Structure 1
Amino acid sequence: MSDGPDPERLKALEDKLAKLRGKKPVGPRAGGHATHAHAGWRMVTELVTGIVMGFGIGWGLDSLFGTLPILMVLFTMLGFAAGVRVMLGTAREIQGYSQDAEAPGTDDTAPDRTGQEKGNAGGDGS
């Protein structure tokens, strides 16, 4: 029985670890951008959270002051407005990510709204 670790096994383990550390992550999260489904659920969660928080604050204040429906309705609407505001900020953030991912140049051969190619204004086929 040996007293120390086996240097050959340690070297093999170090090689395996180095090989695994060198690999890049694969999949939709490789660039750090969220998928569209994740972004959609994030926005729904932000909206619902705003409404629930507003409802809870309004209900708590109504039960404290004895004005049951007034503050609950007011804070629910304020929570909805806050949720929409946060949701729009998230949409702007996601839109910024998608614009960064696009190529800086434009495609002159893509059809415009009329269905004609932008680069072929003459219409003679050349």
Structure 2
Amino acid sequence: MAEGPRNDAERQADAARLRALEEKLAQKTPRPEVRGPMADYDKAHLAWRMVIELVAGLGIGLGIGFGLDYLFGTAPFLMVVFIFLGFAAGIKSMMRSAAELTRTGPAPDKDATGPAPDMDERD
């Protein structure tokens, strides 16, 4: 079994070696690169956002279709049509969110009050 340091000098030497090792590891460890405007969000939050967009599209389509069916007396015809339209709108919204994720470039500064840094000002 290995023995621990016997006196304060050995403890300080071990602590110095440990700090040196931690510094070397910190320099060699790759840091995650922040990419895109939504890099701060957790993946689960983005997944829930996409699910909510799809369900909201379906719900709005269902509501509009049901209301128009009630108004015109056309039974479930318009409700089915608007459910499909709501589904298409939800998918389109999800695709827009996915495109936002894949967009590369610097993340906008949260504290900046002016235009985004990548936008050029034309006089």
The TM tier, using the shorter chain, reads 0.5 to 0.7
Amino acid at match of 1:66: G
1:32 Cα deviation from its structure 2 partner: 6.5
Q: 1:46 to 1:33 in 2, by over 3 A?
A: same
Amino acid at match of 1:35: D
Paired position in structure 1 for 2:92 = 85
How many aligned positions are there?
69
RMSD of aligned C-alpha atoms?
A: 1.7
For residues 95 and 51 of structure 1, the distance between their equivalents in structure 2, rounded to whole angstroms, comes to 25
2:44 is aligned, of 37, 41, 52, to 37
For residues 32 and 76 of structure 1, the distance between their equivalents in structure 2, rounded to whole angstroms, comes to 33
Instruction: List gaps (5 residues or longer) in structure 2.
Output: 1-37, 107-123
Paired position in structure 1 for 2:29 = none
Q: Between the two proteins, what is the percent identity of the paired residues? A: 51
In the alignment, structure 1 residue 95 sits paired with structure 2 residue 105: no
Alignment of 1:54-69 (within 5 A): 54-69=61-76
Query: TM-score, structure 1 length as denominator?
Result: 0.52
For residues 38 and 94 of structure 1, the distance between their equivalents in structure 2, rounded to whole angstroms, comes to 12
Question: How far does the alpha carbon of each residue in 1:36-81 deviate from its partner, in whole angstroms, 9 at most, with x for none?
Answer: 1110000000000000000000000000000011000000000000
Instruction: List gaps (5 residues or longer) in structure 1.
Output: 1-30, 102-126
Moved over 4 A (4+): none
SS of the equivalent of 1:100 reads coil
For residues 100 and 35 of structure 1, the distance between their equivalents in structure 2, rounded to whole angstroms, comes to 18
Task: With a CA cutoff of 8 Å and minimum separation of 6, indicate the structure with the bigger relative contact order.
Answer: 2
